[in-house]
Structure formats: structure tokens, C-alpha cells
Amino acid sequence: MTIDSLVDAGMNDLISDLQALIRQPSVSAKKVGLVECANLVAKMMQKAGINSEVLYLDDDDKTVPPIVYGEVKSRANPAAKTLLFYNHYDVQPEEPLELWEDEPFSGTVKDNKVFGRGSADDKGELITRIKAVEYFLKETGDVPCNIKFMVEGEEEVGSVHVEQYLKKYEEKLACDGVIWEFGYVDAKDRPIISLGMKGLLYVELIATGPSRDAHSSLAVLIENPAWRLVSALSTMRDEKSGRVTIKDWYKEVRPFTKQELAVISREPFDEGEFKNEYGIRRFVAGARGKDAKKALVGMPTCNIAGFDSGYIGEGAKTVLPARARAKIDFRLVPGMVPERQLARLKRHLKDHGFSDIQVNFIHGEAAARTPISDPFVKKVDEAARKAFGSSIRSVSSAGTGPMYSFVKVLKAPCISVGSTYMFARIHSPNEFARIDLLNKCTKCMGRIIEKFAAQDTLG
Amino acid sequence: MTIDSLVDAGMNDLISDLQALIRQPSVSAKKVGLVECANLVAKMMQKAGINSEVLYLDDDDKTVPPIVYGEVKSRANPAAKTLLFYNHYDVQPEEPLELWEDEPFSGTVKDNKVFGRGSADDKGELITRIKAVEYFLKETGDVPCNIKFMVEGEEEVGSVHVEQYLKKYEEKLACDGVIWEFGYVDAKDRPIISLGMKGLLYVELIATGPSRDAHSSLAVLIENPAWRLVSALSTMRDEKSGRVTIKDWYKEVRPFTKQELAVISREPFDEGEFKNEYGIRRFVAGARGKDAKKALVGMPTCNIAGFDSGYIGEGAKTVLPARARAKIDFRLVPGMVPERQLARLKRHLKDHGFSDIQVNFIHGEAAARTPISDPFVKKVDEAARKAFGSSIRSVSSAGTGPMYSFVKVLKAPCISVGSTYMFARIHSPNEFARIDLLNKCTKCMGRIIEKFAAQDTLG
């Protein structure tokens, strides 16, 4: 039994549903269109035969974006195991606008691509899963295992309430395995079966200068907050090695296991192509080969996501700004606790004479990894190999997601597999989803559903 | 003879003309409203009895903003000396908009203040000079010396073409003394007779990262241009001393003369008030007393006027920016040559491993100082003391202007005296001109015209 021919026949439908999702902007950072998008997702699920509900964390306070819950019970095997699809309906901000070739929320189709903010991350992924269930029901009138959906609306701002949602709806969301919200496909069309996610500590550092912008001639007496911030930042990271220089930053980082090192060794990584894609000539600290791969899956970072101060328009305005602000994201790896790292950052600033710099905590999230030995890994891998022709295993994604919360609350293994071309410009202008990969991924999801229902005798 | 009673009687007129000037936006950094403002100034001069012309650098290419030339010849003493008023009709950008209590170009009058971008810098100054000439003509039917006006439209972007204008119209602009475009009045209503201006080197530093914004999880491999820029900047200035750490930066800085040191000693400076006004607790490098005053008139700076990179909106966008840019202004003192300092900056970046950082030269200008012994100084000082009740001499302003070009081309001494309250928020939101100071300053200009005509026998 496969749903492959229904998937092929239904591609126009899938694309048109994806366009409908893209055309409903849902930018969590700006709180734009979130409820509207949740309602649209719920409606789309209903249309597919999935029972759906829009659930709030607190029905009396709807300021927190809702989740969409979806459910299909197996009529033939009501006691079967339960597979949960985790996705998100929110997207990154569309800026910088001037670099988009089409409107960010147009869903324009060109050649093999659907363009638009969210086309890949995560509306493209979501649609493949909804369609897989729809075609399963269409083909067989049933599903072989119980299936649930949990689609949140704050993933792009750090899944702020996902753990509270998981706890509140713990029974409803109970499951035996989670298919994570995204999955990359490499340049040779091989899906990457990723078993972990890095954590994140996101902060704003704010330096305050004079009580208002001043004439820059006064820089001779008034300390410039942009200089304060530059000086503070320059103590936090070693330019050459790319390592964070905050005391004890790496204290709890555990070495890779032998099994992890073996997976890392086998994982293909085309350095030249990666560098070409981003127009760079070398990696941080000159990393190459296995070191570059180890860095991707297991190295913490300290990234300046934004810096603003003073006059940033054209011309030569001579101003001494009243304020300087940097938005910093630190990626964390298993063992690192966001709250502890935040305390280390604050102590670092104080110890280095920068106690005047305000640290605003924006978000923290621990890292998680599903063990390579979990039987779920093999099933997903086999499904992916059948649908895509091959697959790659990866110890962890370089990105962050609330996997730790899922593991902690639902106690189920999480695996990431999906349809996102690795150079699909997610989070950037001209984000796109590749139509051929949407097709293969929907087929892959069908196979995962089928395999998940089977007994684990071959573990 | 004084014009004092006409000045008092004409204040409503002066304010309404100033409002008309403010209400004509003329932002040189954005090339907004410049020709319109030049025409308005020329019309206002005509109304005052001053012959005026709008002059271009090149009549076939009007992309360079014009100057307004004004002239009144003394009928009684056609061979008398010539006094030139130098002013500018352009203003700083009005941003940040959200901090203005009234519209930036409203000219709102509240209590003793006229608010608006340009109210003080420099439309308030200009109007006192036009009115002084108008009242002189009204009172006596003549002026005792020849009077000229040179009103440019690019002062706020560094007087980019002023030297070319001076050279092209050298004969027309020939004069024996220049009253500079601005003049500060301290918190005790004492006008500051300032004899010099610092120079300026304004550059943009641009660091380039990946060919487009990337997902910040890739910071583990892709170098972040904001980090490059932070690292580069942190090598350019010593946080503690505030000194520029670029090699040979201070090589040509000459020590103060004994006469200059005497003037600096006498100059009052209320540190507490200055700090209160800007809400700061200490000066750069902990400077106090005479050291703070020496710094203001004679110390070079390196100021970050703007820094932008990545996502600067709300929320937690995790992006690795493609570009980072800093706008830097270095104030220079006599002896420092902008081009030479630029070469030193470039060499510094290269020597410190930052040859990837692009240096865009925006503007350069040398410093100038009129010798304290020049007879013009005493005349201006006497006029100011009569009109304001007291005065302060200063070796140099902390700010920059094209004084060096005037000295070089016109070979005339330049002195700064005017109506701008030292905390008038020039270049900032809620800029204002104090009406009582506009009144006193107009009277002062009348006395300068009178004294300038007299023989220098008492030099």
C-alpha cells in the first residue's frame, strides 16, 4: 500500500493549499495574523479529514497565540501507537523587504519553486503532513496508527509557551514518537534524518549614554554607548577561534559519544558547495572536514543577530547616540543550561567593568538529542530512503527548537525529517519550497505512518 | 547709534520670519527642500534691503545645492572694510521622529522658545544677522561698512562644496573679517566668542559576511560581519583613556600656546551642569576641570555616529547578517590633515588583519584657529559684552566647520558669535532657539557692524 499515486495526482491541490497558507501572513515577532493563520490551518485539517481544534493556553487571556491540535484515530487499531506531527504556523519577519523579488506573502510559483515567507519554514513542511494523512484516509478509509498534530504559533520567537502547552494538554498530546517540524534535504536530494536540536540563549545588550542624542563633538567628554557596547562585545568572543571567552562557558559541554562520532564521519558535507552558496572563502577558525561537521552539530556559538545605534541613514550626520543595542543569540549544546549561561554572561560583563550594560533576557532553551539506538530512528530512516532514494543521518541540527520540552513532557523520541532544501533561504528574502521535494516528502510521511504502525520486533 | 529699540519693537517680525524658515524643511543629508529654502532666504534678504542672488557652482549642473549671496554697500564709506556673515540654510535630519514633542518643522512657540529643526542651527543665527542689517538700514538709511552674506546649503553634510564656492566667487566674497555661522551662549547667558573649529574625518566602515542574510545557526561556520566590525573597531580606541590607538594619530597635534592656555584657564565651565544636562556621571577618561576644557577645544575624537547590522526590530529573530556598517566621525585639531589620517586608518585596519573591511571616505576637513591677537577679536568681544552684559573667549569650538577653507581662500579672520543656547538640542529632537537670546544677538550684530567700520588704531 502506498499513497504515492494520490500524492502525484494531488500536487496542484497541495501547492494551492500551501499558497493559501503563505498568503496568510503570520509573523510571530510582530504578532501579525496569528489567530487567522491558526484558524486556516484548522480548517485545512478538517478538509483533509483530521479532527482539529484551536486551543488556547488560557481561554480568558488570548494574548498567547493558540496551537492547532489535530487528531485521527485508527479505526482498525484503536490501541495502536500514536505518532505526533509537530509543526508551526508562524513565520519569521519578512524584512529586509527590498531584497525580495516577489511580494513576501505572494506564494508565487516559478519553475520548481513556491516562493514566500514560510513557504519552506514551516508551512511547506506542515502541508506535506496534512496531505499524507488526507491521502491515507482517501486510499484506505483509515490510518494504521493513531495520528496527532500539534501546530504552534511561536516557534520563530523561541516557542515561548510550548512547554506550558505540552504540560496543559499532556494527555491529549500523549504519543510514542514525534516527527519534528522541519527536515532538510541536501544538495543531492538526500533527506537529513536529524536526531537533535541545539539550545538557545537570546539576549539584548543595551548600553546607555547621554540622556538624549548629543552633538558628536561632545564625544571628547561624553562616553558613547556604541563604544561601550563594542568594547563589551569584544571581550565575549575570540575572533580567531570563534570561541566564546566567557568564563566556564563550555564547562558542561560533553564530548561526542563513539556512536555520534561515527554518524558524523559518515555524514556527507560538501564544503565547497556550502561556501559557494554563501559566498564565503573560509569557515570560522579555518575549520575543515570533520571539524566543520562537528562544529555544525555540536559547537556552541555567540552570534550578533542585530546591532543598532545612532544614525544609520545616508549622509554624514554627526551624532553621539543616546543608546546602543545588540541582539545576541548563543546556540547551546546538550549539557548547557540557559539560565546558568545567562548568569555567566552577566558575571562576565560585571567582571570586565561593564556592569552599566543592561542584559535583557529574551529567550532560553536547552538542547536535546534522541539516541541513535532508538528503534524509531530506523523506521524513519527506511521510509526516507524509500521515498527519496537515499538518506543521511545527523546527530543534531545546527538550529534550535523546543525538542527538550517535548522529550521532558511527552517522553517520546523526536526525529526531524522533511522537505526543506538546505539552501531554501529560510529566514532570508526569497525563501522558497521545492515542489519536487514537497512531493517526495509527502510520500515519505505516508511511509512513516505505515511503518510506525508496525511492531518493533526488528527494533 | 544703536538699533536696540528697533530690535525690541521688531521681535514678532523676527520670530515670524524664523518660523517661515523652519517651516521650509531643508535637510541636506536627504536633499530635501534645499533650493526652495535658498530662494526663501534670498527673498527675505531682499525684503530686508539686502541685494541677494542665488548662485550655483555650475549653472549647467544644479545637483550641488546653491549658495545665497547677499550684499549691502556702504554709501557713505564705499571704501570701508567688508564684513562677511557666513551662515547655512540647511539643517540636520529630523530623526528620530518619535521623540519630537511638536512636528519637527512646525516652528511652534512655547514660552521663550521657538521649536523646530533648524530653529537654532542655523536659521535662528541667520535671522539675527539679516534683521541687524535691516534695522541698520531702517535707522540710518545706510550701513557704516560693506556687508556681505554667504549662506550655504551643505553645512550639515560637511560643507562639501564650500571651498569650491569660495574659490569660484573669490572676488565677490572678498572681505576683511568673517562672522561665523553659529555662536553658543552659556547657561549664564554669556556669549562664547570662539576663535576656531575642529576638523573632521567622516568615514563608513563596512564589513561583509555571507552573500545574503543567513540562519544564525550557521554562525558556527560563517563569520559574522558584525563581529568583524566589532573586533576591528575595538582595536581603534582605548576605552579607558578615550584615545585613538591608530599609529601616529596624534603625530602632528601641536601643544597649546601660552596665550591659548591662558584663555582656556579663564573660560568658565560648569561641569556639574553639563553632566546634569546630558544625564552623565563622569567624563571620558574621568577628565575634570582644566583637562575637560582642554579636551573640548583641543582633543581629537573617534565617535561611532551610527552602527547597523542585522535585525533591529522587536522579538528574537535569529539571523546572521550579510553586512555590518559603522559611521565614524573623527574630530581633528590644527596640524592634522584629513587625507593623512585616512591613510593611517586604512593602514591600521590592514596591519591588524582587517583588510576585508571597506573604508568609505565621506568627508574630510582640516581644523582652523584665528589668533587671539587679531584686532577683530577685541571688536567682536566688546560688541558681545555690550549686548549680552558679558562674554567668554574660547580658543576653539569643539565642533567642525569649513573655517580652514575660509582662512585659506579669503585670508580673513573668522570669529564665531551668536544666539544659540548651549543646551538648545541642536542635531537632536526638540531643538529650540531662545527668544531672549535672539533679541540680544541681533543687538550684538548691530554693534559688530558699527565697530567693524571703525579704524583699528587701538588694535
Of all residues in chain B, what percent carry a pLDDT higher than 90? 92
Are A221 and B287 a contacting pair at CB < 8 A?
yes
Are A302 and B210 a contacting pair at CB < 8 A?
no
Number of neighbouring beta carbons within 10 Å of residue B43: 14
How far A355 CA sits from the closest chain B CA (Å)?
15
B120 touches chain A (CB under 8 A): no
B237 touches chain A (CB under 8 A): yes
Are B315 and A29 a contacting pair at CB < 8 A?
yes
Asked which of A28-32, A453-457, B121-125 is least confident by mean pLDDT, the reply is A453-457
pLDDT at position B18 is: 98
pLDDT at position A427 is: 86
Ramachandran bin of B194, using left for φ above 0, alpha for ψ from -120 to 50, beta for the remaining angles: beta
Above 90 in pLDDT, residue B2? no
Closest residue in B to A430 (Cα) is: B212
| 3-state SS assignment for residue A36 | helix
Q: Is A232 in contact with A434 (CB distance < 8 Å)?
A: no
Question: Residue range B410-418: average pLDDT?
Answer: 97
A99 touches chain B (CB under 8 A): yes
Taking only residues 160 to 179 of chain B, the set having a beta carbon closer than 8 angstroms to any beta carbon of chain A reads: none
> Which distant-in-sequence residues (6+ apart) come within 8 Å of A268 by Cβ?
A186, A188, A190, A392
* Distance in angstroms (rounded) separating the CA atoms of residues A180 and A253: 24
Closest residue in A to B210 (Cα) is: A278
Residues of chain B with C-beta less than 8 angstroms from the C-beta of A280: 209-211, 222-223
Above 70 in pLDDT, residue A233? yes
* Distance in angstroms (rounded) separating the CA atoms of residues A300 and A341: 11
Instruction: Give the phi and the psi of residue A124 in degrees, each rounded to 5.
Output: -65, -45
Above 50 in pLDDT, residue B457? no
Give the predicted TM-score (pTM) of the model.
0.83
Above 50 in pLDDT, residue A121? yes
Question: Residue range A157-173: average pLDDT?
Answer: 94
Question: Residue range B242-255: average pLDDT?
Answer: 96
Stated length of chain A = 459
A359 touches chain B (CB under 8 A): no
Burial of residue B62, with CB atoms counted within 10 A of its CB: 0-12 exposed, 13-18 middle, 19 or more buried: exposed
Residue B414's nearest CA partner among B427, B428, B401 is B401
Are A311 and B327 a contacting pair at CB < 8 A?
yes
- CA Rg value for chain B: 23
Are A307 and B308 a contacting pair at CB < 8 A?
yes
pLDDT at position B102 is: 96
Number of neighbouring beta carbons within 10 Å of residue B137: 17
A272 touches chain B (CB under 8 A): no
Above 60 in pLDDT, residue B403? yes
* Distance in angstroms (rounded) separating the CA atoms of residues B131 and B153: 20
Number of neighbouring beta carbons within 10 Å of residue B51: 14
Residues of chain B with C-beta less than 8 angstroms from the C-beta of A301: 216-217, 219-220
* Distance in angstroms (rounded) separating the CA atoms of residues A105 and A88: 17
Above 80 in pLDDT, residue A440? yes
Which member of B212, B303, B319 has the closest CB to residue A305? Answer: B319
* Distance in angstroms (rounded) separating the CA atoms of residues A336 and B186: 56
Are B302 and A219 a contacting pair at CB < 8 A?
yes
> Which cell goes with A69?
491540535
Taking only residues 391 to 430 of chain A, the set having a beta carbon closer than 8 angstroms to any beta carbon of chain B reads: 397-400, 425-429
Which of A200, A271, A311, A396 to probe by mutation at the B interface, max B CB count within 10 Å?
Answer: A311
In the DSSP assignment, the letter for residue B160 is T
B75 touches chain A (CB under 8 A): no
B361 touches chain A (CB under 8 A): no
B436 touches chain A (CB under 8 A): no
Are B331 and A230 a contacting pair at CB < 8 A?
no
Instruction: Give the phi and the psi of residue A327 in degrees, each rounded to 5.
Output: -100, 120
> Which cell goes with A423?
539552501
Residue A129's nearest CA partner among A89, A162, A161, A95 is A89
Are B308 and A303 a contacting pair at CB < 8 A?
no
Residue A429's nearest CA partner among B210, B356, B227, B324 is B210
Helix then strand count (H, E) for chain B reads 14, 21
Q: How far apart, in Å, do the first and last CA atoms of chain B sit?
A: 22
A345 touches chain B (CB under 8 A): no
Burial of residue B111, with CB atoms counted within 10 A of its CB: 0-12 exposed, 13-18 middle, 19 or more buried: exposed
* Distance in angstroms (rounded) separating the CA atoms of residues B68 and B75: 23
Instruction: Give the phi and the psi of residue A52 in degrees, each rounded to 5.
Output: -130, 155
- For residue A308, what are the β-bridge partners? A325, B308
In the DSSP assignment, the letter for residue A112 is T
- Single-letter amino acid code for the residue at A164: Q
Residues of chain B with C-beta less than 8 angstroms from the C-beta of A428: 212-215, 319
Task: Express each pLDDT in B350-362 by its tens digit.
Answer: 999 999 999 999 9
CB pairs under 8 A between A and B: 310
* Distance in angstroms (rounded) separating the CA atoms of residues A44 and A127: 9
Helix (H) or strand (E) holding B364: strand B358-365
Are B312 and A307 a contacting pair at CB < 8 A?
yes
Are A309 and B311 a contacting pair at CB < 8 A?
no
CA B196 to each of CA A249, A317, B398: distance values in angstroms, whole numbers, following the listed order: 52, 21, 9
Task: Express each pLDDT in A313-348 by its tens digit.
Answer: 887 788 999 999 999 999 999 999 999 999 999 999
A227 touches chain B (CB under 8 A): yes
> pLDDT grade, residue A40 (50/70/90)?
very high
Are A212 and B428 a contacting pair at CB < 8 A?
yes
Are A219 and B303 a contacting pair at CB < 8 A?
yes
Which of B216, B223, B229 to probe by mutation at the A interface, max A CB count within 10 Å?
Answer: B216
ipTM score of complex: 0.83
> pLDDT grade, residue A457 (50/70/90)?
very low
Residues of chain A with C-beta less than 8 angstroms from the C-beta of B397: 217
Strand duo B392-394 + B192-194: pairing: parallel
Q: What share of chain A is helix, strand, coil (3-state, %, to 5)?
A: 35, 20, 40
Task: Express each pLDDT in A249-277 by its tens digit.
Answer: 999 999 999 999 999 999 998 899 899 99
Are B331 and A216 a contacting pair at CB < 8 A?
yes
Are A427 and B307 a contacting pair at CB < 8 A?
no
CA A445 to each of CA A80, A285, A369, A437: distance values in angstroms, whole numbers, following the listed order: 18, 39, 21, 12
Are B315 and A30 a contacting pair at CB < 8 A?
yes
pLDDT at position B458 is: 42
Are A329 and B216 a contacting pair at CB < 8 A?
yes
Closest residue in A to B316 (Cα) is: A157
Which member of B212, B301, B318 has the closest CB to residue A219? Answer: B301
* Distance in angstroms (rounded) separating the CA atoms of residues A205 and B199: 33
Of all residues in chain A, what percent carry a pLDDT higher than 90? 91
Are A219 and B316 a contacting pair at CB < 8 A?
no
* Distance in angstroms (rounded) separating the CA atoms of residues B155 and B92: 9
Task: Express each pLDDT in B189-225 by its tens digit.
Answer: 999 999 999 999 999 999 999 999 999 999 999 999 9
> pLDDT grade, residue B456 (50/70/90)?
low
Are B221 and A283 a contacting pair at CB < 8 A?
yes
Task: Express each pLDDT in B293-306 by its tens digit.
Answer: 999 999 999 999 99
Q: Is A90 in contact with A121 (CB distance < 8 Å)?
A: no
Question: Residue range B419-439: average pLDDT?
Answer: 95
Helix (H) or strand (E) holding B363: strand B358-365
Are B220 and A310 a contacting pair at CB < 8 A?
no
pLDDT at position A456 is: 60
* Distance in angstroms (rounded) separating the CA atoms of residues A92 and A28: 7
Closest residue in A to B397 (Cα) is: A217
* Distance in angstroms (rounded) separating the CA atoms of residues A391 and A345: 39
Ramachandran bin of B82, using left for φ above 0, alpha for ψ from -120 to 50, beta for the remaining angles: beta
How far B299 CA sits from the closest chain A CA (Å)?
7
Above 80 in pLDDT, residue A458? no
Which of A99, A182, A304 to probe by mutation at the B interface, max B CB count within 10 Å?
Answer: A304
Above 80 in pLDDT, residue B459? no
Question: Residue range B413-424: average pLDDT?
Answer: 96
Question: Residue range A169-198: average pLDDT?
Answer: 96
Average pLDDT score, chain A? 95
* Distance in angstroms (rounded) separating the CA atoms of residues B392 and B313: 46
- For residue B83, what are the β-bridge partners? B147, B177
Residue B213's nearest CA partner among B202, B224, B203, B229 is B224
Closest residue in B to A361 (Cα) is: B316
Average pLDDT score, chain B? 95
Q: Is B381 in contact with A201 (CB distance < 8 Å)?
A: no
* Distance in angstroms (rounded) separating the CA atoms of residues A67 and B424: 53
Taking only residues 363 to 382 of chain A, the set having a beta carbon closer than 8 angstroms to any beta carbon of chain B reads: 363
> Which cell goes with A128?
506535506
Task: Express each pLDDT in B140-171 by its tens digit.
Answer: 999 999 999 999 999 988 888 999 999 999 99
Are A310 and B305 a contacting pair at CB < 8 A?
yes
Are B318 and A306 a contacting pair at CB < 8 A?
no
How far A226 CA sits from the closest chain B CA (Å)?
6
Residue A210's nearest CA partner among A228, A222, A226 is A222
